[in-house]
Structure 1
Amino acid sequence: MGEQHTVKFPQDVVAEYAALGVDLPALFSAGHLGNRMGVRIVEAAAERVVGTMPVEGNTQPYGLLHGGASAVLAETLGSIGSMLHGGSTRMAVGVDLNCTHHRGVRSGLVTGVATPVHRGRSTATYEIVITDDQGRRVCTARLTCMLREVRPGDADLLPGAPGSGPA
């Protein structure tokens, strides 16, 4: 879990963040919690973010995928989409997460796909569909992020920014 992997980003995004000296894979990653849970980002663009997470290690006492684990995967994917939509001048901060759990999963890998419902100037909303290895819907989530302007000093807080410490 938490292994390094390569995510393909749109070229304009790569150029925008490279000019700021920001490490894209660190900024658009699963973060500390997601890494501990084995979340892996497979594809990242404002139009679609895809990630996977193992069921093993992310279960509740009955041996089923924990609903909170699905929420972590959903918020991670929707936040990455929102950050990519907002660009380097805005920070995405989750303000509302709604998850509906449809079926239990006991093993394997779940896959989440985040697609935009609304992408505005101050908010972005993504629908995240999480499926099991057989393509059956496990969870449907909706995340709304507030997009706020990056203020002086904020850049140092972003993972992957020069001087920000480990991602």
Structure 2
Amino acid sequence: MTRSSARESAPESAAVPEIEVQYPDEQLAARMGIEITEWTRDRVVGTMPVAGNRQPFGLLHGGANGVLAETLGSTAAAMHGWPERLPVGLELNCTHHRSALGGTVTGVCTPLSVGRTIGTFEIVITDDEDRRVCTAKLTCVYRDRPPGSAG
């Protein structure tokens, strides 16, 4: 997703920070086919194909749910701290409700609580039939950006 398309999906009242979200080929999110389709301070949405992200029994790998959740949650956390503070993942919890066998899963991330030093986000992952596949919670700690670091 390009920065300009993120602005188009964001409500005019929401201030969207200048964050370039891109996943070069060597990044895990790109390898897994994750695409962020919407981002605002109140909601980050992304999709991931089941194909290529299965465990040996043909089901969507639970770790793939974790990667999608962490990708969306970290993006949301950055939206709340940028550019002064950087989020670092502290804890990820995933509850797997059902299997996904094919198609695409969609994750919707919303903030539960965001303070100066800690942010917690809920990520709900659903299948193509809008059935809940996984509920995840990501907690990040915010660190001050080191002076002179690249933004």
Pick the TM interval, shorter chain: 0.7 to 0.9
Q: In the aligned structure 1, how far is the partner of 2:148 from the partner of 2:36? A: 27
Code of the residue aligned with 2:101 in structure 1: it is: R
Q: Whose helix proportion is higher, 1 or 2?
A: 1
Q: 1:25, CA displacement in angstroms?
A: 3.1
Q: In the aligned structure 2, how far is the partner of 1:96 from the partner of 1:153? A: 28
Work out whether 1:146 is the aligned partner of 2:149: no
- The equivalences for 1:19-38 within 5 A come to 24-26=20-22, 32-38=27-33
- The equivalences for 1:120-131 within 5 A come to 120-131=115-126
Question: What are the Cα deviations for residues 13-54 of structure 1, in whole angstroms up to 9, with x where unaligned?
Answer: 35xx3xxxxx6233xx59810000000000111210000000
Corresponding residue of 1:61: 56
Code of the residue aligned with 2:6 in structure 1: it is: K
Question: What are the Cα deviations for residues 78-101 of structure 1, in whole angstroms up to 9, with x where unaligned?
Answer: 111100011211111100000000
Work out whether 1:8 is the aligned partner of 2:6: yes
Code of the residue aligned with 2:21 in structure 1: it is: P
Which range moved further: 144-153 or 114-123?
A: 144-153
**Count of aligned pairs between the two proteins:** 143
TM-score under structure 1 length normalisation: 0.79
Q: 1:153, CA displacement in angstroms?
A: 4.7
Q: 1:154, CA displacement in angstroms?
A: 3.5
